[in-house]
């Protein structure tokens, strides 16, 4: 089997297990039941972030086969052949034919590229440098890096507008995730509002209806978004929003900062870690579990 098929098989068995063991609910139903205090035991919602193409080509057929509805939070700026900034860095370093790169301008000196492990370490260092830059500075850094590396990046890593419509037509829920996947907390008020509202409008015109739910990019409370951003999401008309802080949704949870968790990272052992990695590669499905 090619790696993609392995991920698909693992994802299939996870979804099968969830469907057998838990009450997998569509996000809208789960929130409605929670409001009414009527959530069933072992309620689970499945969510995906970002809008990767494999959400459509790999995950959707499996979800449909198991009769499960998931929610997909989509950054709308990459739907026409674009790529998320972290993937741009990763693909650039993976694909470059250069023997070394001069990264003095990022305070990372001249780096030999070498084998896969060296490249992966360099990717992590680069991401740490680039992640919290403002959008303009980040874009300029990416353009320079790609030019220095002499690569042209592949397209098709993210869903197209037609695929996104396909998700919604299949009964899946599509939610907001900003346009360019910035760290909201580094943007000024105007920039943050624009990212949230333009994303809502772009998704709305693709889907023919306004998205109702939102997930903060990167999603760590305080570091990646602030109280200001929570307020902007509320003002944009959203009904609920998700962070990436780890936890289960309880009666006390703020509906505009609902936590999530990936259940496999609670299980010790290498196999679980490898599974977690595989699932991340199939588009980072994450779960929300209700309290019993
Ligand atoms: Zn994301």
104 plus 46 within the same structural domain: no
Coil, helix or strand for 256? coil
Name which of 39, 6, 15 is nearest 253 in CA terms: 39
Q: Could you tell me the distance, in angstroms and rounded to a whole number, from the CA of residue 38 to the centre of ligand 1?
A: 30
| pLDDT recorded at residue 3 | 57
How many CB atoms lie under 10 A from the CB of residue 254?
Answer: 13
Q: In this structure, what token pair is assigned to residue 146? A: 């790609």
- The interaxial angle of helices 189-207 and 227-235, nearest 10 deg, is 40
Residues facing residue 214 across a β-bridge: 176, 241
178 plus 245 within the same structural domain: yes
Q: Could you tell me the distance, in angstroms and rounded to a whole number, from the CA of residue 177 to the centre of ligand 1?
A: 7
Ion ligand 1: residues, CB < 5 A: 49-50, 217
Name which of 89, 163, 178 is nearest 131 in CA terms: 89
Q: Could you tell me the distance, in angstroms and rounded to a whole number, from the CA of residue 99 to the centre of ligand 1?
A: 32
Q: Give residue-wise pLDDT tens across range 238-254.
A: 999 998 887 777 777 88
Exposure b/e, 273-292, CB count within 10 A at least 16 = b:
eebbebbebbbbbbbbbbee
109 Rama class: left (phi>0) / alpha (psi -120 to 50) / beta: left
Q: Could you tell me the distance, in angstroms and rounded to a whole number, from the CA of residue 238 to the centre of ligand 1?
A: 17
100 plus 240 within the same structural domain: no
- Total structural domains within the chain: 2
Name which of 42, 29, 9 is nearest 70 in CA terms: 29
Q: Give residue-wise pLDDT tens across range 176-217.
A: 999 999 999 999 999 999 999 999 999 999 999 999 999 999
Q: Could you tell me the distance, in angstroms and rounded to a whole number, from the CA of residue 257 to the centre of ligand 1?
A: 15
| pLDDT recorded at residue 288 | 56
Range of the domain at 181: 3-81+157-289
143 plus 283 within the same structural domain: no
32 plus 133 within the same structural domain: no
Q: Could you tell me the distance, in angstroms and rounded to a whole number, from the CA of residue 210 to the centre of ligand 1?
A: 19
Q: Could you tell me the distance, in angstroms and rounded to a whole number, from the CA of residue 67 to the centre of ligand 1?
A: 25
> What number is the average pLDDT over the span 101-109?
93
Burial of 133 (0-12, 13-18, 19+ CB in 10 A): middle
Q: Could you tell me the distance, in angstroms and rounded to a whole number, from the CA of residue 284 to the centre of ligand 1?
A: 9
Q: Could you tell me the distance, in angstroms and rounded to a whole number, from the CA of residue 49 to the centre of ligand 1?
A: 5
Give Cα 91 to chain centroid, integer Å.
17
What are the start-end ranges of the H helices in 83-115? 85-95
133 plus 179 within the same structural domain: no
State how far the alpha carbon of 216 is from the alpha carbons of 57, 106, 111, 135, 176, in Å: 24, 27, 33, 16, 8
Name which of 17, 8, 30, 10 is nearest 260 in CA terms: 30
Q: Could you tell me the distance, in angstroms and rounded to a whole number, from the CA of residue 110 to the centre of ligand 1?
A: 30
Give Cα 90 to chain centroid, integer Å.
16
Q: Could you tell me the distance, in angstroms and rounded to a whole number, from the CA of residue 100 to the centre of ligand 1?
A: 30
Confidence category of residue 165, pLDDT binned at 50, 70, 90:
very high
Q: Could you tell me the distance, in angstroms and rounded to a whole number, from the CA of residue 16 to the centre of ligand 1?
A: 25
């Amino acid at each position: 089997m090619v790696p993609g098929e392995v991920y698909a098989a693992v994802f299939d068995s996870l979804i099968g297990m969830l469907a057998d063991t838990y009450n997998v609910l569509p996000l809208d139903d789960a929130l409605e039941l929670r409001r009414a205090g009527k959530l069933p035991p072992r309620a689970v919602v499945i969510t995906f972030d970002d809008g990767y193409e494999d959400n459509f080509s790999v995950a959707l057929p499996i979800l449909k086969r198991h009769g499960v509805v998931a929610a997909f939070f989509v950054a709308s700026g990459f739907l026409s052949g674009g790529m998320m900034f972290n993937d741009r860095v990763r693909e650039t370093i993976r694909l470059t034919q250069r023997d070394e790169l001069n990264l003095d301008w990022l305070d990372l000196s001249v780096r030999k590229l070498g084998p896969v492990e060296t490249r992966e370490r360099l990717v992590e260092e680069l991401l740490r440098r680039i992640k919290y830059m403002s959008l303009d500075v980040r874009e300029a850094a990416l353009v320079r890096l790609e030019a220095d590396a002499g690569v042209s990046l592949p397209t098709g890593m993210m869903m197209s507008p037609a695929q996104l419509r396909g998700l919604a037509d299949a009964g899946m829920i599509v939610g907001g995730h900003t346009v360019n996947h910035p760290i909201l907390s580094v943007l000024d008020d105007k920039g943050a509002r624009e990212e949230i509202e333009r994303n809502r409008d772009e998704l709305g015109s693709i889907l023919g209806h306004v998205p109702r739910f939102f997930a903060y990019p990167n999603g760590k409370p305080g570091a990646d978004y602030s109280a200001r951003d929570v307020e902007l999401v509320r003002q944009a008309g959203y009904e609920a929003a998700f962070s990436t802080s780890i936890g289960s949704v309880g009666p006390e949870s703020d509906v505009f900062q609902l936590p999530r968790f990936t259940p496999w990272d609670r299980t010790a052992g290498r196999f679980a870690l490898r599974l977690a990695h595989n699932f991340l590669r199939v588009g980072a499905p994450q779960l929300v579990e209700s309290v019993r």
